A and B are shown apart, each in its own frame.
Chain A
Amino acid sequence: MPSLAKPFSIGLILCLSLWPFLTAADPYTAIIRQAGLIETGPNNLQIQARIDYRLSPTAKEALHKGVPLTWIVAIQIRKAGRILDTTLYSQERPYRIRFHALLNQYEVATRDNEGEMFLTLNAALNFMSNLHDSQPLAADLIQPGQRYYLAVKCRFDRESLPVPLRPFAYLDTQWFLSSDWTLWPIQK
């Protein structure tokens, strides 16, 4: 069997040299501005978060050309452990925005809302930036004396893009619209 050490080394060097470009911070990623739990009742908690969606020129062009864009906001409540955290609560909320050329309006659809029309893109994004229709959580989920985190991530759903666009959405930084996981300590 011929030795593969040399080709493997070349591949490794290529990957390492390209890694900074692939992992470079992108200016179009969504930003989780704020997240936390608020008490809405004696035994109820509600998740609140504020997310800034920043669309790249390509994404804006695609939106105005009729391509719907979908983000999925993933929310988790994690209990801090010594080695690994335990996920106590997990939820995903999709947000889809599309442009209606006839009406020149933007429609934002959520899991519970068929579609909300907005005259401007900013209005639509502003609507999306707040978590809506959040179901209340039981207050006893959070026990005193323990450390909890609210983990929020806004993931751009590339798989909802048209098929021809998907492969490039994984390679083109114009489509790197997701945020990383952000952890917010929960105070009680």
Chain B
Amino acid sequence: MVSLQRLDTMAYSKIKLPASASILILFGFILLSLQLMSSSTQESSELSEMHSWLLVINTLGSITLLILVVVNAYSLVRELKKKEAGSRLTTRMVSLFVLLALAPAAIVFYFSVQFLHQGIDSWFNVEIDRAMDDALELSQSSLAQRMNWHIKQTRQIAAQLEDKSDTLIALEIGSLWADSGALEIAAFSSQGRILASSSTNPSDILPHLPDEQIWLQLRQNKEYFAFDPGDNDEMLVRIILPIDRDQRRFLQVLYPIPVRVTDLADSIEFAFIRYQEMTFLRDSLKTSFSLILLLVLLLSLLAAIWVAFISIRNIVAPVKELVKGTQAVADGDYQQQLPVMSQDDLGFLVESFNQMTKRIARSRDETRAAGLEVENQRAYLETILANLTAGVISFDASFHIRTANQAAYRILHIPVSHFVSQTLSNLAGKHSELAEVLEAIQQLLEKADDIWEQRIVFLGPNGRQELLCRGTPLFLQDGSRMGAVVVFDDVTDLIQAQKNAAWGEVARRLAHEIKNPLTPIQLSAERLQHKLSKELPENSQDFLQRGTRTIVQQVEAMKRMVDDFSEYARPSKKQVEKINLIDLIQEILALYLHSGILFTTSFSSRGVIVEADPVSIRQVLHNLIKNAQEATAGPCRIDIKINKAVRNNAEYAELCIYDNGSGLHADQIETIFEPYVTSKAKGTGLGLAIVKKIVEEHGGVIWVDTSYNGGAGFVIQLPVFEFGNSE
């Protein structure tokens, strides 16, 4: 894990360094650009030619930075709206930074502009304006005075040459040039033909003749005088006057202006022009410098804000990760491991978070494992409980049902597990047929402080049932009651089997102890009859005959009774085959066609195939029909129904036989299927016992339908092999 953290740190370092370098390069470029722009404002600088480009580049840079800042701000606003982690902290830090950076920068900018404007304004004042104007006027006056003097001088020369021929002019012009002190003197015709010239520079073969512009003015004004720029930055006075009154010939004289005067005049003109230019550029200067200052401010501020965005995001990144990690932990994800981006306090915080999540994850895993173990144990116990043949119901301290297994449903025929958090009394309210047993258990639970055991007999939906209940109160370590567990088992079959076994033993003993002496008794009585009937008087013979007949009859009766009982107790020898129960019933009913019994049948299926011994089933039906017939005083009516029933996930054919007889008393219902229990005077009391025995031998059950009140009702459920098509 340590190596992983180092890897994280290294990865961060690899990312961080180029980012810092980029920021440094950015600021370097900005500084360079601003410096270049600042230098380009100087006219003397070579960079002045690039001023516009630098201005454009810096403006574009500002716009780019502004876009970056706006994009970042917009992104931040969206994050804020989405309430993303770390967005509030980033906003707060960026706002603080912008406020702290903007306020002093704005103040500096404001005062810089103020100072700049005041500085520029200080260059100009009325005195300097007047001084510059006066200096220029002085220079102009000086030059004008010199010009006027030269004009006068030229006029005198022209007057001397007036009315002289061209030849004379050529001869005199040299002396006139020497006297005048002029640079060059020339005479030319109105067509521009040179008549004579003289110059200080012997290399000048031709005089400096006037150009088109001068000729144009000359033709208009008849004379021309102006300052001309000469060679080597010297200034000349060019004066052209007509020699003749008819302007046929002109005299041009070029006078030099002293170098000192020229320099002074140039200096004054340069200063004046410069000052005038500055005056003209006054507002432009202010605006231009303010613009540059603004650009400097914008570039610096925007770059700083953009870098602040990046830096603050980098700073907030661990916090953001921490918030996300915390949210993930809050949502239950304990596998969060955040990258350690720095070795500062935040890095320490992230490391602590990672350790915390690791510990939480470990604790969670241990708890989960423990829970899983508990769950496995619980599932194991539930599996055991579910597969127990005994019903188990657990109760809490207030005797509300907490759990119930499948066997409870199988025994009680009610889904006890659906009544969790209810008491048995509530259950009894909804299942009145079980009210007796449930109330009994409830009372035992409430009263018992120790383990208890109780047999409870009740009449369930499938007839009489006997439960063996064992209750165990549960206590906590502090002795307080936490609930109870009741385990119960349906011992009806077991008790019945025990009774059957007892009855079998009785039958065997009867056969052995009673039936064996009966034959000698019968033979002895017959022998007595045979031996003594001839020897006794007639009246005694009659007595003897009646007595021996009675003995023989009773012995026969006793033999039949013992045979019947033996028949009942003897294990049956079934010949099982697949039979259609409906066909069998139809066959049996055909036998009773003329018996006066009214049969009504109702079959839910056309064919109900059961695996049974047809002889035994016939006996069952005969016994039941016979019982019904004997129990009915008037016209006998028997309803026979066959329905489909499902019990314990197995299909059964439910055969219901109802008569309109006198019915059964409540006290008879519990013992009606036991041998020698009968309500008839001549009955042996074995009919229903045999019926029950046969049904149970076929894997079925029989019970008295207590819900039927029109007479006696019996319900037989037999395992079915196949149901035919439904009607």
User: Does A20 touch B at the CB level, under 8 Å?
Assistant: no
Known: A4-B71, A163-B48, A166-B52. A102 touches B140 (CB 8 A): yes
Please pick, from A67, A101, A105, A163, the residue contacting B136 in the complex, using a CB distance under 8 A. Answer: A101
User: Does A89 touch B at the CB level, under 8 Å?
Assistant: no
10 contacts between A and B (CB under 8 A): A1-B75, A62-B280, A66-B277, A101-B273, A102-B269, A114-B229, A117-B229, A162-B281, A164-B289, A168-B284
User: Does B179 touch A at the CB level, under 8 Å?
Assistant: no
Complex contacts, A64 vs chain B, CB 8 Å: 276
What residue in chain A is nearest B281 (Cβ atoms)?
A: A164
Q: Are A117 and B228 in contact (CB under 8 A)?
A: yes
Complex contacts, B289 vs chain A, CB 8 Å: 164
User: Does B584 touch A at the CB level, under 8 Å?
Assistant: no
Known: A101-B272, A102-B140, A164-B288. A159 touches B280 (CB 8 A): no
Complex contacts, B48 vs chain A, CB 8 Å: 163
What residue in chain B is nearest A114 (Cβ atoms)?
A: B229
Which residues, 221 to 276 on B, are CB-close (under 8 Å) to A?
A: 226-229, 265-266, 268-269, 272-274, 276
Please pick, from A102, A119, A159, the residue contacting B143 in the complex, using a CB distance under 8 A. Answer: A102
Please pick, from A67, A158, A159, A167, the residue contacting B277 in the complex, using a CB distance under 8 A. Answer: A67
In the complex, which of the residues A1, A101, A117, A127 has the most CB atoms of chain B within 10 Å of its own CB atom?
Answer: A101
Q: Shortest CB–CB separation between residue B239 and chain A, in angstroms?
A: 15
Could you say which interface size class chain A belongs to?
20 to 34
User: Does A116 touch B at the CB level, under 8 Å?
Assistant: yes
Complex contacts, B281 vs chain A, CB 8 Å: 67, 162, 164-165
Q: Are B217 and A119 in contact (CB under 8 A)?
A: yes
User: Whole-angstrom distance between the alpha carbons of A103 and B279 in the complex?
Assistant: 20
- Secondary structure at chain B's binding surface: helix, strand, loop or mixed? helix
Q: Shortest CB–CB separation between residue A120 and chain B, in angstroms?
A: 10
Q: Are A162 and B291 in contact (CB under 8 A)?
A: no
Please pick, from B41, B213, B229, B274, the residue contacting A66 in the complex, using a CB distance under 8 A. Answer: B274
Q: Shortest CB–CB separation between residue B669 and chain A, in angstroms?
A: 87
User: Whole-angstrom distance between the alpha carbons of A100 and B228 in the complex?
Assistant: 12
User: Does B609 touch A at the CB level, under 8 Å?
Assistant: no
B contact residues, total (Cβ < 8 Å)? 42
User: Whole-angstrom distance between the alpha carbons of A164 and B313 in the complex?
Assistant: 41
Known: A159-B49, A163-B41. A2 touches B269 (CB 8 A): no
Complex contacts, A123 vs chain B, CB 8 Å: 213
Q: Are B70 and A7 in contact (CB under 8 A)?
A: yes
User: Does A111 touch B at the CB level, under 8 Å?
Assistant: no
Interchain residue pairs A-B with the least CB separation, the first 5:
A66-B273, A65-B280, A102-B269, A164-B288, A2-B74
Known: A163-B41, A163-B43. A1 touches B71 (CB 8 A): yes
User: Whole-angstrom distance between the alpha carbons of A119 and B70 in the complex?
Assistant: 58
User: Does B55 touch A at the CB level, under 8 Å?
Assistant: yes
B30-63 interface code vs A (CB 8 A; 1 in, 0 out): 0000000000111100001101100100000000
Q: Shortest CB–CB separation between residue B9 and chain A, in angstroms?
A: 29
- Secondary structure at chain A's binding surface: helix, strand, loop or mixed? mixed
Please pick, from B55, B213, B226, B287, the residue contacting A116 in the complex, using a CB distance under 8 A. Answer: B213
Complex contacts, B71 vs chain A, CB 8 Å: 1-2, 4
User: Does B139 touch A at the CB level, under 8 Å?
Assistant: yes
A55-68 interface code vs B (CB 8 A; 1 in, 0 out): 00000011011110
User: Whole-angstrom distance between the alpha carbons of A115 and B136 in the complex?
Assistant: 22
Residues of chain A touching chain B, judged by Cβ–Cβ distance below 8 Å, are 1-2, 4, 7, 61-62, 64-67, 100-105, 114-119, 123, 127, 158-159, 162-168, 170
Q: Are A162 and B43 in contact (CB under 8 A)?
A: yes
Q: Are A100 and B55 in contact (CB under 8 A)?
A: no
User: Whole-angstrom distance between the alpha carbons of A164 and B288 in the complex?
Assistant: 5
> Assuming A123-B213, A164-B284, what are 15 further A-B pairs, CB within 8 angstroms?
A2-B74, A65-B280, A66-B272, A66-B276, A102-B136, A102-B143, A102-B266, A103-B143, A104-B140, A105-B227, A118-B213, A163-B288, A164-B41, A165-B284, A168-B287
User: Does B285 touch A at the CB level, under 8 Å?
Assistant: yes
User: Does B78 touch A at the CB level, under 8 Å?
Assistant: yes
Q: Shortest CB–CB separation between residue A40 and chain B, in angstroms?
A: 19
Q: Are B280 and A61 in contact (CB under 8 A)?
A: yes
Complex contacts, B274 vs chain A, CB 8 Å: 66
Please pick, from B40, B213, B276, the residue contacting A101 in the complex, using a CB distance under 8 A. Answer: B276
User: Whole-angstrom distance between the alpha carbons of A100 and B265 in the complex?
Assistant: 11
Q: Are A166 and B51 in contact (CB under 8 A)?
A: yes
User: Whole-angstrom distance between the alpha carbons of A177 and B446 in the complex?
Assistant: 115
Complex contacts, A116 vs chain B, CB 8 Å: 213
Please pick, from B70, B228, B265, the residue contacting A102 in the complex, using a CB distance under 8 A. Answer: B265
Complex contacts, B140 vs chain A, CB 8 Å: 102, 104
Please pick, from B49, B70, B143, B291, the residue contacting A167 in the complex, using a CB distance under 8 A. Answer: B291
Q: Are A170 and B277 in contact (CB under 8 A)?
A: no
Q: Shortest CB–CB separation between residue A96 and chain B, in angstroms?
A: 14
Q: Are B229 and A167 in contact (CB under 8 A)?
A: no
Q: Shortest CB–CB separation between residue B81 and chain A, in angstroms?
A: 11
Complex contacts, A65 vs chain B, CB 8 Å: 273, 276-277, 279-280
